Structure 1
Amino acid sequence: MYLYVKAIHVFAVIVFIAGMLTTAFALRAVATVPQDVSARRLGGIVLQWDGLVTTPALAVVWVAGFTMAFGAGWSSSLWLLLKLVPAAFLTGLHTLQGIALKRQLRAGQSTALLRWLPLAIILTFATIDWLAVTKPF
């Protein structure tokens, strides 16, 4: 059973990270050319995708992750507790991305931090991946 849950978890993580990176790049596209109709359409499509695919994938990531952690007896492992910090950061960042994209599409508001989103997502995911694969503590 563990391998099935792990496969679901890994697949959901891939979908979630891909969705977050897509949203990050859509934020940059809309910020670069805010009056462009195609950029605004892209932003709307990405918001729909986020609601239909990325957000449910995030829920599956958390449920499958906790299922694996408790099923394998890792609930008190230090590596897992440390992994929760960047995982919670990505969850919060996902929420902030959605809010920022809605604001950009509605009012044209943008922030300079948006250009760092892809790097932040990749580095955070790499940290989570390292902790999950190596289980150093």
Structure 2
Amino acid sequence: MNVILTLIPFFILVYGAYWDFRKRIIPNSVPILLIILGVLQCCILNTNNIALGDRIAGIILPAILLFGLYIFNSNGLGGGDYKLLIAMGWLLGLAGFIKLMLVSCILSIVYCVIHKTKTVPFAVPIFISYSYLICFNYIV
């Protein structure tokens, strides 16, 4: 059951990364489904060891930091990116979110250097980071 609940976000992120790469938009269904899955994992099925307090911290602290980023640089991330990151904070908890953001930011920098651009479809590095962290069992 735990493997299935780990793979469902993978496929949801594939969908979101595809749309973000193609159209530079992340459908609202992606963060909504991730939040619903987090509620199922935490409150109903109680399948993983991420505490409710860690999940709440995974929403509140990134939301504050991302809001500050938005105030100082409104041309950075789009609204869908913010929603996706908050949903990932809920799904992974604060520790998992920090690991995800570290790998995602490194991948984004590499993408910008290789493609000589200042914009990144950020759902793609999030998807790749989630896949990497799951494969190497850093978050579950």
The TM-score bracket by the shorter chain reads 0.3 to 0.5
Name the larger-Rg structure: 1
Q: TM-score under structure 2 normalisation?
A: 0.40
Give me the TM-score of the superposition, normalised by structure 1. Answer: 0.41
* Higher RCO (CA-CA < 8 Å; seq separation 6+): 1
Bigger share in helix: 1
